[in-house]
Amino acid sequence: MKKVIGYLGYFILIIGTFLMIQSAAGTLREEAATTGEIETFLIPFIYIILGIFIGILPLIDQWKQSGSWKIRWQKLIFLGLPFLYLCAYPWITFNYETFTLPNFLGHLTLLSGESASFAGIMVGFILMTSIRKERGRSGFGR
């Protein structure tokens, strides 16, 4: 029963975070449309928070285990950085055209807010799941 309550609380946390982020993003878009002062291209970065909350449960489970903490650098580099690039793609496109992809590689699809928001969620998730505990090893990050 304790696990059921824990999962229910986790579900409420995820849904609550999602709704708050959606509301904040909508407010920022409306303000940008009326004043033109907010760069809506930065909105996908707030979705990283949702990804962190989605990926934090395995980290909490590992907290109770014995062992030393390890960072999976390969996962951060080969998954995290590409998703970070996709998250920042709308901003990069409008500020640094030389770093954009050709049209045949999905340039227009990646400019959509949905693609960048999904990438932001993945960045947060990858950040959390790149940290783990290993038994029998000493030292952080070895």
Q: Where are the domains of the chain?
A: 41-134
Residue type at 128 in one-letter notation: M
Q: Distance between CA atoms of 56 and 100, rounded to whole angstroms?
A: 32
Torsional sign, CA 71, 75, 77, 81: negative
The yes-or-no verdict on residue 106 having pLDDT over 70 is: no
Does residue 79 come out as left (phi exceeding 0), alpha (psi in the -120 to 50 range) or beta?
alpha
Report field, pTM of the whole predicted structure over 0.75: yes
Confidence of residue 118 (pLDDT cuts 50, 70, 90): very high
Query: Which residues, in sequence order, are CB contacts of 121 under 8 Å at separation 6+?
Result: 47, 48, 50, 51, 54
Q: Distance between CA atoms of 138 and 142, rounded to whole angstroms?
A: 7
Q: What is the pLDDT of residues 120-140, one digit of tens each?
A: 999 999 999 999 988 765 555
Q: In this predicted structure, what is the pLDDT of residue 47?
A: 93
The yes-or-no verdict on residue 141 having pLDDT over 60 is: no
Residue of 30, 59, 40 lying closest to 125 (CA atoms):
59
Higher pLDDT, 88 or 94: 88
Helix (H/G/I), strand (E/B), else coil: 70: strand
Q: What is the pLDDT of residues 71-91, one digit of tens each?
A: 999 999 999 999 999 898 888
